[in-house]
């Protein structure tokens, strides 16, 4: 006679719905075997002698890798090798096959609450379940003023009998499912609905899906990626298998944005009292300051602590941009913006800024793009404060290059970062249409090249002086200029240079 035990720990989702049945190497099985005095036979010997002895005495359940024992022809094999060989043996006899199982956490899917998508199914009696026909979709929750649960452990929907109880065309009585799906059930495929949002016949037209999919870029936090992306990708693959979408993957690229911490460096929470209220920031500093500072805090992917001091710095930057362009007394354009000429240095820095900001936007380097704009604004502020700026020869030949046109180009590249102030400045610069209608400014490849570069000069690794040379200067010219510096000659102390290393655009290192 073979006894059969029934226990609530038997896993319906494991294999064909049974226990693993290796009590020496599974903790649940070990406890079960000890409870009912079942034999515990080791098939994996622990590598540690103390653990091995405890296992022999049935005082230890060993779940790690070791050496196969009591395993016939496979005895003596290390665990990884044993797994390979036993799999081949089973496959060769048609008794099993190697497979990879994927698990998807779904225990949050059915919820006892009103809010969420109702399941489009009907229960007939206690055993039969049928799905709604397409003509009965979408299934909407009933309108009600009472969302409170009934106190029986059921969903609030269970109280609304006129919605729950239905009759089929043949007179059969049925009940709707009263649990609901979580809201992310719908958000798992919202990107597909965006393709064809007004379609009342189906989720989306196949032609539109083929044109738009897959999504080029998905940005979200790490927590969001786990809770949402995991499911949307799962759903998308199911839809692909069913033939409803044309791509195996829903998204081409994922960027995880970092978390913003409180000023104390801890995760924001009400219990810690370190939560930053965006409404307060916007009231006191404006939406542009809030937006700009979040991008300026650091790399997009990094976790960063909030700083009111940093926010105020960005706020002052925007104030400076405004004062450069707008006269505070008249509210019109500053005379310097209307009348000043453009020097070559300003024009070069503008084009360098256009290039860097454009490139940084493409690579999500928003903080470095803002840094470059700050450099340009600092330069422009000093330049406009200087009267009687002269045209250089290269600028004088182009009558379209005025200070106003320079400022306009800057406002266009500022717009993605601070759209409200940029739109206001664009209007005050005399434009009737929104700057959103304008093209991104182009930069001149020749103009962005520096005429001169500054190099640090080191003697045996220590900086002694700096030199400014023409950008096109060759190594020999740079070496000679560096060796002729008085501070360098003094540092060399009459010794001969063994080697002179020139790293273009950075430094000259003289080894004596």
> What is the per-residue pLDDT for 336?
83
d(CA 252, CA 269): 33
Compute φ and ψ for 9, nearest 5 degrees: -95, -5
Q: Which residues of the chain have pLDDT under 70?
A: 7-19, 103-108, 225-226, 387-401
> What is the per-residue pLDDT for 394?
42
Q: Write down the residue that tokens 């009459």 correspond to.
A: 494
Contact 25, 62 (CB under 8 A): yes
d(CA 84, CA 80): 7
E strand residue ranges, 95-253: 117-118, 121-124, 128-131, 165-167, 173-176, 180-181, 218-221
DSSP letter for each residue of 42-92: -SEE-SSHHHHHHHHTT-----S--EE-S-GGGTT-BHHHHHHHHHHHHHH
> What is the per-residue pLDDT for 390?
46
> What is the per-residue pLDDT for 478?
84
Contact 307, 274 (CB under 8 A): no
> What is the per-residue pLDDT for 229?
81
As given in the structure block, the two tokens for residue 349 are: 């820095």
E strand residue ranges, 159-308: 165-167, 173-176, 180-181, 218-221, 254-257, 260-261, 304-305
Q: How far is CA 241 from CA 178, 247, 277, in A?
A: 29, 10, 45
203 Cβ neighbours under 8 A, 6+ residues apart: 189, 192, 193, 196, 244
> What is the per-residue pLDDT for 393?
41
List, in sequence order, every residue forming a beta bridge with 246; answer none if it has no partner: none
- The C-alpha angle with vertex 510 and arms to 509 and 511, in degrees rounded to 5, equals 115
Phi/psi region, residue 453 (left: phi>0; alpha: psi -120 to 50; beta: rest), is beta
> What is the per-residue pLDDT for 246?
97
As given in the structure block, the two tokens for residue 219 are: 């940005």
Q: What is the CA 478 to chain-centroid distance, rounded?
A: 45
Contact 365, 467 (CB under 8 A): no
**419-428: pLDDT as tens digits:** 999 999 999 9
């Amino acid at each position: 006679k073979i006894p059969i035990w029934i226990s609530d720990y038997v896993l319906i989702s494991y294999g064909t719905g049974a226990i693993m049945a290796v009590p020496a190497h599974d903790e649940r099985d070990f406890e079960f075997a000890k409870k009912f005095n079942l034999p515990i036979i080791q098939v994996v010997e622990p590598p540690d002698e103390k653990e091995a002895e405890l296992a022999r005495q049935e005082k230890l359940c060993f779940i790690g890798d070791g050496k196969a024992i009591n395993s016939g022809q496979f005895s003596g094999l290390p665990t990884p090798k044993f797994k390979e060989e036993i799999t081949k043996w089973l496959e060769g006899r048609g008794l099993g096959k190697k497979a990879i199982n994927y698990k998807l956490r779904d225990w949050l899917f059915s919820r006892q609450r009103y809010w969420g998508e109702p399941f489009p199914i009907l229960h007939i009696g206690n055993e039969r379940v049928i799905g709604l026909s397409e003509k009965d979709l979408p299934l909407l929750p009933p309108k009600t003023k009472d969302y409170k649960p009934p106190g029986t452990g059921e969903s609030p929907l269970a109280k609304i009998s006129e919605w729950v109880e239905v009759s089929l065309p043949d007179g059969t009585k049925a009940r709707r499912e009263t649990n609901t799906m979580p809201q992310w059930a719908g958000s798992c495929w919202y990107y597909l609905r965006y393709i064809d949002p007004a379609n009342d016949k189906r989720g989306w037209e196949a032609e539109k899906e083929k044109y738009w999919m897959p999504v080029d870029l998905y940005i979200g936090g790490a927590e969001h990626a786990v809770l949402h992306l995991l499911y949307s990708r799962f759903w998308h693959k199911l839809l692909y298998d069913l033939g409803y979408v044309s791509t195996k993957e829903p998204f081409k690229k994922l960027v995880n944005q970092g978390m913003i911490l409180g000023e104390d460096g801890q995760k924001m929470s009400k219990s810690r009292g370190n939560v930053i209220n965006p409404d307060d920031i916007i009231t006191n500093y404006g939406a542009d300051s809030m937006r700009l500072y979040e991008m300026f805090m650091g790399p997009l992917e990094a976790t960063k602590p909030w700083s009111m001091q940093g926010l105020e710095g960005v706020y002052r930057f925007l104030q400076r941009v405004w004062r450069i362009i707008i006269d505070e007394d008249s509210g019109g354009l500053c005379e310097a913006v209307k009348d000043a000429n453009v020097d070559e240095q300003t024009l070069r820095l503008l084009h360098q800024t256009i290039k860097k900001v454009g490139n940084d936007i493409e690579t999500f380097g928003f903080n470095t793009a803002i840094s470059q704009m700050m450099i340009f604004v600092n330069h422009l502020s000093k330049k406009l404060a200087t009267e009687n700026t002269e045209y250089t020869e290269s600028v004088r030949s182009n009558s379209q290059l005025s200070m106003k046109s320079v400022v306009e180009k800057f406002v266009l590249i500022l717009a993605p970062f601070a759209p409200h102030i940029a739109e206001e400045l664009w209007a005050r610069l005399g434009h009737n249409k929104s700057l959103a209608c304008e093209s991104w400014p182009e930069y001149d490849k020749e103009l962005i090249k520096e005429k001169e570069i500054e190099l640090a000069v080191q003697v045996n690794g220590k900086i002694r002086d700096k030199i400014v040379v023409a950008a096109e200067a060759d190594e020999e010219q740079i070496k000679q200029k560096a060796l002729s510096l008085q501070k360098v000659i003094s540092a060399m102390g009459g010794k001969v240079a063994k080697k002179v290393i020139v790293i273009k655009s950075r430094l000259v290192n003289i080894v004596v």
